[in-house]
Amino acid sequence: MAETKARRLRELLRTARPVVSPGVYDGYSARLVEIMGFKTAATTGAGLTNSVIVQPDIGIFGLRDNVDACRHLARSVSIPLTADADTGYGNAVTVYHVVQYFEEAGIVGINIEDQVMPKRCGHMRGKELISTAEMVKKIEAGLKAKKDPDFIINARTDAIAVEDIGGTVERVKAYARAGADMIYVDAIRGEDDIARAVEAAGDTPVNINMGFGIRQRPTSPLIPLKRLKELGVARVSAPRMLTAAAISGMRKALEVMQHCMLTGELADRPDLLASMEDITGLFDYRRIEALEQEFTAEEDLERKYRGHERAYVVGAGAKP
């Protein structure tokens, strides 16, 4: 049987603990994660909401917007990509359809959380939860809906902020009994919480969120990957790392531009910017050149590039 992206993620969860899945939100971040050698990635619901509709992550980024964005990202990389499906956009019947939409978009698994709809970002105050019984039905609907048995229903619980670790443990046990493929305990407060969640999950893989590099972490402390492995964590997601890095990088570049505007001086700061080769390489412009060479008549190429060098992929057969 041919290996699928979903099966590849399943194998990584079994053999490469903890699997690190950086949070991606656009083509730049998705391509960089793959090129840098990461084996998986996860869309960040907050990152997509902030960057696409320019709103806070409070449950107003719609299903269609989310699926459409994820479809483009999934087809742009060869590594497995999971998605954030918020609360499943409704009840258990809605979740049934949501799973199929994301699966058809090339996503290998989705997070479904136990917050009341509309949800709010996991580190915001004022969260409310649906009942354990309702969340169990959502999990069951998701499991029944998926066509690929390796597609992952990642049951996220935000119960720590509302029901403390005791209530969280009971929910983790219930979600594991319901057959969740993975359990995501958000806003974890430390090693003791992780240990109790992993024990409660039994054989079900546990996913936690780490804010690597984020200043003013509101909830979860940073824990080394070696220690997370010892605690039994199967997957670590970093949903805010790349969005925070992008904002910081853009701010620094704009500050230089403002200085130039005020002083009239010229500032050349290649240390702050990717090169044009970096950008075109990230999106494989050379592949487009090769396709043009292969499928465009020679006389059309000569006319199009008359007086200019035709820079094609080395070895492709074209001559300038």
What is the model's pLDDT at position 141? 98
* pLDDT above 60: residue 172: yes
For residue 236, give both structure tokens. 């670590």
User: Which parts of the chain are beta strand (E)?
Assistant: 19-24, 41-43, 81-84, 109-113, 152-157, 182-185, 206-209, 235-238
pTM above 0.85, yes or no: yes
Identify any residues that bridge with 21 across adjacent strands, giving them in sequence order: 237
Residue 206 pLDDT > 70: yes
Q: Is there a contact between 293 and 317 (Cβ–Cβ < 8 Å)?
A: yes
Confidence of residue 315 (pLDDT cuts 50, 70, 90): very low
Q: Among 82-91, 101-110, 114-123, whose mean pLDDT is lowest?
A: 114-123
CA 298 remoteness from chain centre: 43
218: enclosing H helix or E strand: none
Spell out a b/e string for 12-48, using b for 16 or more CB atoms within 10 Å of the CB, else e. bbeeebbbbbbbbbbeebbbbbbeeebbbbbbbbbbb
Nearest to 182 by CA among 2, 3, 18, 4: 18
Max distance between CA atoms of the chain, in angstroms, equals 74
Q: What are phi and psi of 67, to 5 degrees?
A: -60, -45
Provide mean pLDDT across the span 205-224: 78
- What does each C-alpha distance from 307 to 103, 135, 314 come to in angstroms? 48, 66, 20
Q: What are phi and psi of 68, to 5 degrees?
A: -60, -45
User: 39 and 236 in contact (C-beta within 8 Å)?
Assistant: no
Q: Residue 36: pLDDT band by 50, 70, 90 thresholds? A: very high
- What tokens appear for 267 in the block? 């500032």
pLDDT at position 118, please? Answer: 81
Distance from C-alpha of 94 to C-alpha of 123, rounded to nearest angstrom:
25
> Could you tell me how many helices (H) and strands (E) the chain has, helices first?
13, 8
Q: Which residues contact 221 (CB under 8 A, 6 or more apart)?
A: 189, 190
Tell me: pLDDT of 317 over 50.
Answer: no
Sketch out the chain's domains with CATH numbers.
Answer: 5-245 (3.20.20.60)
- At which residue do the structure tokens 């290649």 appear? 270
Altogether, the residues listed in the chain come to a count of: 320
Between the CA of residue 193 and those of 170, 187, 189, 293, 308, what are the distances in Å? 13, 10, 6, 58, 64
3-state secondary structure of 155: strand
Task: Give me the mean pLDDT over the 208-224 stretch.
Answer: 74
Q: What is the DSSP letter of 51?
A: I
